[in-house]
Chains A and B, each alone.
Chain A
């Protein structure tokens, strides 16, 4: 059974960098776009971006200037770094996967809550 698990600090200060990691247990790592999606409190879902096992990335244009993703296929982990955060970045952050050549997120992590506050 494929499982994705997010980890990282739950509290980040404004102007600092939000860093999260997703660990994938079981299942293949190649042939998937490993994605981050977030959900501000009481709001809808926003796709942040994805990384392929080779390191190829694609980001939401609205976040691109502050965003870096990285991947470690040997550990089946991928990570997110979002710089210069503000209160607007407070959200539940989910990692999820999309199989290449498909359009849908078939497995999701449980999500991790990140609050941006001093």
Chain B
């Protein structure tokens, strides 16, 4: 089973700053990595899939990068609505098994 770790656990930033979130896989996931944003009381929302493709309606300030085992979600110029929890997620090729990272909380400094 592939394990995802995320760092840092919490990131304290101010509006306008850049957020850099890391996700590391215990073995290569190639490009099978997605990112989600979750706000309190809401279901997660897909942000990024296939490492770097933005989902429909996601602002350009969100970007993803990486390959193999190390991935990054970058949020340029944080806006007030971006203070949330972010999860990475991978899928193994076959059989399809899905795992999530433990999450990174981005909160207001």
CB of B87 closer than 8 Å to a CB of A: yes
Q: Can you name the residue of chain B whose Cβ is closest to the Cβ of A108?
A: B43
Task: Please tell me if the beta carbons of A94 and B43 are within 8 angstroms of each other in the complex.
Answer: yes
Q: Tell yes or no: B99 within 8 A of A by CB.
A: yes
Q: Are B49 and A103 in contact (CB under 8 A)?
A: yes
Contacts A102-B49, A103-B33, A104-B89 given: A45-B1 contact, CB under 8 Å? Answer: no
Q: How far is the CA of A58 from the CA of B43 in the complex (A)?
A: 22
Most buried by B among A94, A106, A109, A110: A106
Q: Is the CB–CB distance between B46 and A103 below 8 Å?
A: no
Residue from B36, B90, B101, B102 in contact with A103 in the complex, judged by beta carbons closer than 8 Å? B90
A interface SS class: strand
State A83–B46 Cα separation when bound (angstroms): 30
- Cβ of A50 within 8 Å of any chain B Cβ, yes or no, is yes
In A8-51, which residues have CB < 8 Å from any B CB? 33, 35, 44-47, 50
How far apart are B68's CB and chain A's nearest CB, in angstroms? 15
- Whether B100 contacts A103 by the Cβ 8 Å rule is no
Q: CB distance B89 to A44 under 8 Å?
A: no
B8-67 contacts to A, CB under 8 A, are: 32-34, 36, 42-46, 49-50, 55
Ordered by A's residue number, 12 sampled pairs between the chains whose C-beta atoms are within 8 Å are A45-B44, A45-B89, A46-B100, A58-B97, A98-B96, A103-B50, A104-B34, A104-B50, A104-B55, A105-B46, A106-B55, A108-B43
Task: Rank and list the top 4 A-B pairs by shortest CB-CB distance, nearest first.
Answer: A104-B49, A103-B91, A104-B34, A47-B98
Give me the interface of A with B, judged by CB distance under 8 Å: 33, 35, 44-47, 50, 58, 60-61, 94, 96, 98, 102-106, 108-111
Contacts A96-B43, A106-B46, A108-B44 known; list 11 others, CB within 8 Å: A35-B98, A44-B101, A45-B103, A47-B97, A47-B100, A50-B96, A103-B32, A104-B34, A104-B46, A106-B49, A111-B43
